[in-house]
């Protein structure tokens, strides 16, 4: 459907897909106004399927059971897991992916570790003469 001002393209309307895990849209990172919804009945299988992809940038959970949310979030291989509010970035929280997603964690103290190397240099400013050195 053409969008006024974007007749030549370069616009994708927000779209919701009902997907299965074997579909391409469920196996790749889609950056756009797209939401893939997948139904499930077996939580362990759902977690295995979610972790069975090459990417792991972020995951979102909506539930009334905080216990299940924490357990599921802990088991998911994703850099961010948002519970009951997607893309809920708190200042200073790390943002980055697992596996082939992202380039590490950004926006946090851990970011500094990505750009630095730890090195220890010690200096003793006064040196005692060596035991074998002649005495003055």
53 belongs to a structural domain: yes
Cα–Cα distance for residue pair 118/66, rounded to 1 Å: 39
73 belongs to a structural domain: yes
121 belongs to a structural domain: no
Domain count, the chain: 1
Q: How confident is the model at residue 114, as a pLDDT? A: 64
**What CATH number should be reported for the domain holding residue 56?**
3.40.309.10
129 belongs to a structural domain: no
Statement: the pTM of the whole predicted model exceeds 0.85: no
Per-residue pLDDT for the chain (136 aa), expressed as one digit of tens each?
667 887 777 677 788 999 999 999 999 888 888 888 889 899 999 999 999 999 888 888 889 999 999 999 999 999 889 999 988 877 767 677 777 777 666 655 666 666 676 667 777 778 888 778 787 7
Q: How confident is the model at residue 77, as a pLDDT? A: 93
Cα angle 67, 54, 44 (rounded to 5 degrees) comes to 30
72 belongs to a structural domain: yes
42 belongs to a structural domain: yes
Cα–Cα distance for residue pair 89/86, rounded to 1 Å: 9
């Amino acid at each position: 459907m053409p969008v006024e001002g974007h007749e030549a393209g370069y616009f994708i309307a927000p779209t919701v897909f009902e997907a299965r895990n074997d579909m391409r849209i469920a196996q790749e990172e889609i950056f756009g106004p797209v939401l893939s919804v997948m139904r499930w009945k077996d939580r362990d299988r759902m977690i295995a399927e979610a972790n069975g992809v090459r990417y792991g940038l972020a995951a979102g959970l909506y539930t009334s059971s905080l216990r299940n949310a924490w357990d599921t979030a802990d088991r998911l291989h994703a850099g961010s897991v948002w519970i009951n509010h997607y893309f809920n970035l708190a200042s200073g929280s790390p943002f980055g992916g697992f596996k082939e997603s992202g380039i590490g964690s950004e926006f946090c103290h851990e970011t500094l570790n990505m750009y630095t190397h730890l090195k220890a240099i010690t200096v003793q400013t006064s040196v005692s003469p060596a035991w074998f050195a002649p005495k003055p």
